[in-house]
Structure 1
Amino acid sequence: MATIMAAFPGGKHKALTMSYDDGPAADRRLVSIFNQFGVKGTFHLNSGLMGQDGRIGAEEAAGLYAGHEMSAHTVTHPTLERSPNETLVAEIMEDRKSLERVAGYTVRGMSYPNGSYNRAIKELLPRLGIEYSRVVPSTGNFGMPDDWHEWKPTCHHKQRLMELAESFVESRKSQYLYLMYVWGHSYEFDQDGNWELIEAFCRYVGGRDDIWYATSIEIVWYMQAFERLKFAADCSFVRNPSAQTVWLIANGRTVEVPGGQSVMLD
């Protein structure tokens, strides 16, 4: 029987994603840094506040965030645990609708405004088309989430960023999938006067051929495609019913499984 392991695109076992909230004007500089070093991010936006108080406006957003992900953060940034269900539904669905008109693609991700959530809110999100949502508490490690609607990042960029980056880059145990997930607000770099921190980080981790640089939704959809794979009982072959190509490690060999095709693994 073949020994099968999931892999990221290209057979890689490490992925990096960045997650930034609220859409402040400082996103312009942050996106420029990401683009310079080939890093990808998800930007969680409040559609009802766009263009106000120094935030990125709707007319600029599609171009600015091109190549990254525009994601929901509710219309007006309420504390969700203190909100009735009617407010929850309206805040999330109207945010999706507005952002989708700007982005031109479906918005299926979110981060919780004010870090506020509970079990009932998590259970509601799939019914509103939200496939993941990021929380604030960080893990300090590089594990994959076991709950997409309570997705814990590795760290805020103020939390041992370069130390964790070095550990991530030096991680060699290919029997694991490693995901480094950094979050924050771009305006914090202005407040703290430390843009050199994120520049140094992206310069260090960017452009490496053993890391998959992805947005949050790209990671979710890729892992969903892996879960939809149909393996033979003896794992001698696999069929991929999805449109998305999935990569595996089979008996130590990197195997590409294109969408809609069957591939021998033995």
Structure 2
Amino acid sequence: MRITLDRFPDGKRMALTMSYDDGLYHDRRLVEIMNRYGIRGTFHLNSGKLGTQDYLEKGEIASLYEGHEISAHSVTHPFLPFIPKEQAVQELLNDRLALEELTGYPVRGMSYPFGSWDASVVSMLDSVGIEYARTVDSHGTFRMPENFQLWSPTCHHHDMIGHAERWLHDNRVFPTMALLYVWGHSFEFERENNWELLEQFGELAGNREDVWYATNMEIVQYSKALKALRFSASGELVHNPSALNVWINADGRVREIPGGSTVDLREAGK
């Protein structure tokens, strides 16, 4: 039996996530536009700057980002490779602690401040409970990451229209799942007076039935659940030990594997 692990939820081949840093007040307009087009994303916040000039207030964080993900970005936005490791640990742990007080859920992702990282920083992420970390090294493709703690995006939002057009046009020939990952800062739209770029992107890529709109952490969790599937030697039986439902391709048929279940792929399924 030919099995391919190449499907997002509901058997979709395409997914979109957006990722924005810092938590300035321009996020209010950004979130409103994203919500209008059904686009979801992750917002990496510096907890130590909330409530200061140009930054969001702590009291609005949970409601503003409802339906999206709040993620870490360090307390004070330092260059992590250039401070003592003990301070880097504190920057991330204390950011998690502060943001979790505001959100009411575990914060286990981050983006690197200034996009700056080295092997020492990456090596400590597990110990501070960080499951994924986004870089700023855009690769221009739609591939899934090999290492979620060095997760590079498809593109900055300056270039998202061209990438979205290619992502939508070429999706039927992608050999695997096609993830469009856009990153940026909301203040850039204001500084460059090009909020219409986001509106154009929403018209192009938003509110589509063939796209999974996800947060960064949802993509991480789904990917881990998909890779945790346990197959029999024949490939005809599959057990899903996770709590998430996942979808696979089995001999050309898309099959749902419910969380906690064992499925005989020879049988008819939905």
Shared fold (TM-score, shorter chain, > 0.5): yes
> Would you say how many aligned residue pairs link Structure 1 and Structure 2?
265
Match of 2:35 in 1: 35
1:1-266 correspondence to structure 2 within 5 Å: 1-158=1-158, 160-170=159-169, 171-266=171-266
Contact 1:6 1:248 in 2 (8 A): yes
Provide TM-score, normalisation by structure 2. 0.96
Deviation at 1:254, TM superposition (A): 1.1
Deviation at 1:174, TM superposition (A): 5.0
Other structure's SS at 1:6 match: coil
Other structure's SS at 2:81 match: helix
Taking the aligned partners of 2:94 and 2:240, their CA distance within structure 1 comes to: 34
Other structure's SS at 1:7 match: coil
Deviation at 1:51, TM superposition (A): 1.2
Deviation at 1:4, TM superposition (A): 3.1
Superposed CA deviations along residues 159-214 of structure 1, whole A, max 9, x for unmatched, are x3211110011121253111100000001111000000011101210111111100
Gaps of 5+ in 2: none
Taking the aligned partners of 2:121 and 2:47, their CA distance within structure 1 comes to: 20
Contact 2:17 2:215 in 1 (8 A): yes
- Aligned-residue RMSD, C-alpha: 0.9
Contact 1:2 1:234 in 2 (8 A): no
What code does the residue aligned with 1:61 have?
A: I
Other structure's SS at 2:234 match: coil
What code does the residue aligned with 1:246 have?
A: V
Contact 2:15 2:211 in 1 (8 A): yes
Provide TM-score, normalisation by structure 1. 0.98
Runs of 4+ in 1 over 6 A off after TM superposition: none
170-179 or 198-207, which deviates more = 170-179
Taking the aligned partners of 2:200 and 2:191, their CA distance within structure 1 comes to: 18
Taking the aligned partners of 2:207 and 2:239, their CA distance within structure 1 comes to: 32
The percentage of counterpart residues that share the same residue type is: 50
Superposed CA deviations along residues 12-60 of structure 1, whole A, max 9, x for unmatched, are 1111000000001000000001100000010000001001121111100
What code does the residue aligned with 2:243 have?
A: A
Contact 1:2 1:265 in 2 (8 A): no
